[in-house]
Amino acid sequence: MVIGFIGSGRIGATLARLSVNAGHSVVLSNSRGPETLSALVAGMGPHATAATSAEAAARGDIIVVSIPFGHYRDVPAEPTAGKVVIDVGNYYPKRDGTYAQLDGTTTSSELVAAHLPDARVVKAFNVIHFQDLADEGLPADHPERRALPIAGDDADAKKTVTELIDSFGFDVVDTGPLAEGRRFQPGTPAYLTRFTAAQLREALS
């Protein structure tokens, strides 16, 4: 697959490296322009390129949104239509400002989905530190394999994301619809805690 990245910071760059290692091609973008990504792209080899955000969204089969939540409206909506969009972000009021919608009845990923009405949004990768994401992948049969939660409204999209996460060396716990992403937001037991699948299911409950 081709995976397009809107945002290429620590978590985005880590996911891009894992994607290349798993056999995919990646298109990286950021808010400062593709020329600022030349060193990062060069370090990933011939299957990585840099582009604008709109180009990354257009070229990707899957789109990874890895930018501060407060900038979610900067994601180009039209080229994401029909595609799986992975939202890896978290809402931090001190960083992102206050959003009246996020009063406990709506999640940040639901706002992203509303901005991308024709995309199939899956919340994933928001509960793990980028260094742990790079270092903690294990074979599928390992008893201590770490599990990551996902949430989304489209079953096929979640299947695609599950397969991607598995290829990176992690189990997956599907929490249900996108609204259930509130169960693994910052401040919940699942956030930034290393759990196996069984432990994660217990923590989410």
- Nearest Cα neighbor of 179 from 122, 99, 97 is 122
* Annotated domain spans of the chain: 2-204
For every one of its 205 residues, what pLDDT tens digit does the chain have, with 9 covering 90 and above? 999 999 999 999 999 999 999 999 999 999 999 999 999 999 999 999 999 999 999 999 999 999 999 999 999 999 999 999 999 999 999 999 999 889 778 999 999 999 999 999 999 999 999 999 999 999 999 999 999 999 999 999 999 999 999 999 999 999 999 999 999 999 999 999 999 999 999 999 9
* Closest by CA position to 85, among listed 106, 112, 62: 62
Specify the pLDDT at position 175: 98
- What's the pTM value of the predicted model, to 2 decimals? 0.96
Q: Give the pLDDT confidence score for residue 185 in this predicted structure.
A: 95
**What's the rounded Cα separation, in Å, for the pair 93 and 97?**
5
Helix or strand run (H / E) with residue 94: helix 93-96
Residues whose CB is less than 8 angstroms from the CB of residue 32 and which lie 6 or more positions away in sequence, other chains included: none
CATH of 2-204, one of 3.90.70.10, 2.40.30.170, 3.40.50.720, 3.30.2000.20: 3.40.50.720
Length of the chain: 205
